[in-house]
Homo-oligomer: A and B are copies of this chain.
Amino acid sequence: MTQARLLDAAVDSLVELGWAGTTTTVVAERAGVSRGAQLHHYPTKATLVMAAVEHLADRRAAEIRAEAASLPAGAQRVDRVIDMLAAVFTGPLYAAALEVWVAARTDPELRTALVPVEARVGRELHRLTVELLGADERRPGVRESVQATLDLMRGLGVANLLSDDAARRTALLREWKRHLADVIRD
């Protein structure tokens, strides 16, 4: 699939070269797709990157779902879900998404296009997390704790951008797992 190859190449380019280094020419070359075919599917960097962000979110969700099947029931479940989320948010796919969000902050056209995508991706990740945790959001504080978990992950992703933050993160998440388990089971 030409489109899938272009989107994978765009994501890989964002991971390796960042926003500035990602051009439609570079992506077409990496994908082994002709400039003509690339321009046919994604005429601008903005359309290409937008599609790549959605593709990226789908890849992240698929990664999480793939592991979900092997989750234990009971007390260890919260621990495993947190570890899975932390792996995703400190991995290359989150760094690629961050490249696009930061670029969109000062690019009005990209920003307008990205806001609804970000909202949809955020909602889906929230729903997936609730489902994996087996949390009941009708109980007081549960919804906010799931949201805080995902915002904490975003922050841990930023803290891991430039250097390996694993030791600090592990100690911090040990406490977080305990807190979240208390809130969910309360």
Contact = CB atoms under 8 A, between A and B. Distances in A.
Interface string A117-138: 0110010000000000000000
A158 B154 contact: yes
Interface in A33-75: none
Contact of A155 (B16, B17, B152, B163): B152
Contacts of A175: 141, 144-145, 148
Nearest to A171: B144
Given A98-B102, A151-B152, A155-B153, A114 B162 contact: yes
Contact of A104 (B122, B141, B162): B162
A101 B18 contact: no
A22 B138 CA distance: 47
A24 B114 CA distance: 29
A100 to B, nearest CB: 10
B98 A158 contact: yes
A148 B176 contact: yes
B171 A115 contact: no
Given A141-B175, A174-B144, A17 B153 contact: no
Chain copies in complex: 2
Contacts of A152: 148, 151-152, 155
Given A148-B152, A151-B152, A152-B155, 10 more contacts: A18-B102, A18-B105, A20-B20, A21-B106, A105-B161, A145-B175, A151-B155, A151-B156, A154-B154, A154-B156
Interface of A: 16-21, 95, 98-99, 101-107, 111, 114-115, 118-119, 122, 141, 144-145, 147-148, 150-159, 161-163, 168, 171-172, 174-176, 179
Sorted nearest first, the 8 A-B pairs with minimum C-beta distance are: A154-B155, A155-B155, A151-B155, A18-B106, A144-B175, A154-B158, A102-B102, A144-B172
